[in-house]
Amino acid sequence: MPPETKTTIGDLTEEDIRMFLKKMKKTHFYKRIQFVAYKKEGRTHEEIAALLHVCLKTLTNWMTRFSQGGMEGLVDVSYDRRTSVLRATEEELRKKVSKGEIPTGAACREWLKKEKKIAVGLSTVLWFLKKNGIVLQKDQARTGRNA
C-alpha cells in the first residue's frame, strides 16, 4: 500500500521537503517547494511572495494544489491548458497564408478581426503562427535572403 500523501504543511518534516527537492529534476519547481519550506517556518504569504518574487494569487494557487495533492500535487503539471481561440481558424489560416492572401502578421490580425470577429494582439497571432509552423511570406523572404 502506498504511503499516505501529506496534505498539510504541519505533517511534513524538513527531511520530507529536502528529499522532495532532491528528487525533483525540474528547477522551475524549486520555488514551489521553497514555498512549502517557508510556510513550515511560519512565514506569511506576503513575506513569501516577496522572497520568491511571485504574486499572492500564485501562492494561493500553490497552496490549493498542495492541499489537494500534497507535494506531488504541488508540482504536477498534467493539467489541461486552455485551447487557443485561434485553433478553430488554423486550417483556414494555413491555406490563406500558403496562397499569399495573408502575407504579414498584421494582415493576419486584421483578417481575424474582420472575418472571424476575433480580436487578439499581434504578438498572439505571431506566436500562434510560429507554434503551428505557419510561415508568412515575409518570413520566407527573410529566410531566403539569409540562406
59 contacts 45 by C-beta, under 8 angstroms: yes
Map residue 143 onto helix, strand or coil: helix
Where does the pLDDT of residue 46 fall: very low under 50, low under 70, confident under 90, or very high at 90 and above?
very high
Per-residue pLDDT tens digits for 82-129? 678 888 999 999 999 999 999 999 999 999 999 999 999 999 999 889
Give domain limits for the chain.
9-74, 87-142
Check residue 113 and give its pLDDT. Answer: 94
125 contacts 105 by C-beta, under 8 angstroms: yes
65 contacts 76 by C-beta, under 8 angstroms: yes
Check residue 28 and give its pLDDT. Answer: 66
Q: What angle do CA 51, 7, 20 make, to 5 degrees?
A: 60
Please name the amino acid found at residue 104: T
For 61, residues 6+ apart whose C-beta sits below 8 A from its C-beta are none
* Single pTM value for the model: 0.47
